[in-house]
Amino acid sequence: MRKYFLILGLGIILSFSPVQAAESVFKPLEQQLIRDGLSAELVKRVFADPRVRFLPQIMPRKLTWDETKLPYQQFLKPQRLARARAFLQDYAPLLREIENTYGVDKEILVGLLLVESDLGRHRGRYRIFNVLASMAVSADWQRVKPYLPPGLSPEEEARFREIMARRSRWAYRELRVLLKLSRKYGMDPLALKGSIFGAFGYPQFVPSSFREYAVDGNGDGRIDLYTLTDALASAANYLRAHGWRPGLSREEKKRVLMTYNHSEPYAETILKIAEYLRASPGRDSNTP
């Protein structure tokens, strides 16, 4: 999913080389991927690409991330809501078609896309391959520790180590999926850019979500989450698969949205955007 970055109380300035020993850092990861069944030719070719980077600077951001403190209120400002209303009107036929196909309210889809990528304006700046690979090797505490705030208590260090171990396992699984997708669809895994959480496209799918829920919305024979038709249809397909159906209560809608992002403020924001759009569908769509 797209995140709006806050560095929460790190109190340090991170200095690092963007080419920091990527080859040596990732060698055990390459070997593990091959042992787990991925093509050695594919793995070696991708990791030999000069675009591969180890990104230690993302680690403290992940450790200090707190969804409940993100400024979701920014999406409820008049300028953002005006853009959402204009989008709803400009793409009304497409949105109605997707709503009829998947049973997901068009206003919800607009709200979700507004929060995830500002209606496609923000694609993210990190190569998600590098993000996932860097996370996958972050279970090595000695590699992570130099990029964290100094003076951690034993309790904080134990908590951070557990978090990084868990995220390392998750990232490894997602990296494997990404490499498999690259072979299946002829994708360049290093061309995809997204968030520090390895999510990409307008709806900010991680690779496993792409594998399970992304759809070819415009029937052109390919899936491209950087096109509105595929992005909106894929988001709708995800929500339907997680229980969305016509007639849900507000609380039920919130529970489904929280499968997309496990954050109550996130889900509440999308619901408020949708409620605004339903209440003011006919206003002037000119954006400030």
- Pair of tokens at residue 108: 């919800």
Q: Calculate the dihedral angle through the C-alpha atoms of 101, 111, 80, 280, rounding to the nearest 10 degrees.
A: 70
Provide the CA 267 distance to its chain's centre, in angstroms. Answer: 15
Handedness of CA 284, 100, 74, 120 (dihedral sign): negative
**178: which 2 tokens?**
């990404």
Q: How far apart, in whole angstroms, are the C-alpha atoms of residue 136 and residue 131? A: 9
Question: Two tokens at 163?
Answer: 């978090």
| 56 touches 131 (CB < 8 A) | no
Cβ atoms 264, 67 nearer than 8 A: no
d(CA 208, CA 205): 8
Which amino acids are annotated catalytic? Answer: 116
List CB contacts of 178: < 8 A, sequence separation 6 or more: 128, 129, 132, 189, 192, 207
**Which residue type, as a one-letter code, is found at position 165?**
A
Q: Which residues contact 47 (CB under 8 A, 6 or more apart)?
A: 23, 26, 30
Does an H or E element contain 175, and which? helix 154-185
Handedness of CA 171, 173, 175, 178 (dihedral sign): negative
